[in-house]
Amino acid sequence: MERKHFNRKRRLAEPMLPQSDLNDLATKVQYVGSPYHKRNQGDFGLTPPAQPRADKTLCDEAGIVSKAEAERYLVKGVQRGMVSSAGPDGFPKHVWAVTDGGVVLEAKYNNVGPGSYHGYPLFKPDPFRKAILDRW
């Protein structure tokens, strides 16, 4: 399924947070995942287990097969200032990263616990991918 509409409200935080704030934030984020973005359960410990949906991109296709790897990209994105503005609880709604293979990832705040996120690769036609690649 090819998506035709994308969230045009997403923005990288400007000005970028000081590095000390980003480093502090990076120690507080955690990757919890979502079954909708996984074909294979792996070690993500999802409940319910993997339930891929046709309208969602899959982490499996980005080569991310372990929770530790997904969390590494989440932390790396925060440390590099690839965050949206913070919500009322101090955590950004979105965090972005680029894999070693050039895949643009987006993590979205889960609201299931402080600093918890699930993530997914962005669709290739998503125009926001360019903004992420340019800043990365």
Q: Report yes or no: 40 and 60 within 8 Å, Cβ to Cβ.
A: yes
105/103 Cα distance (integer angstroms): 6
Per-residue pLDDT of the chain (136 residues; tens, 9 = 90+): 455 566 778 899 988 899 999 999 999 999 987 777 767 777 777 766 566 666 667 667 778 888 899 999 999 999 999 999 988 889 999 999 999 999 999 999 987 888 999 888 888 888 899 999 999 9
Q: Where do the structural domains in the chain lie, given as residue ranges?
A: 19-135
Strand partners, 109: 117
Question: What is the pTM for the complete model shown?
Answer: 0.86
Selection from 79, 78, 112, 80 nearest residue 94 by Cα: 78
**Half-sphere exposure for 99 (CA within 13 Å, toward CB):** 21
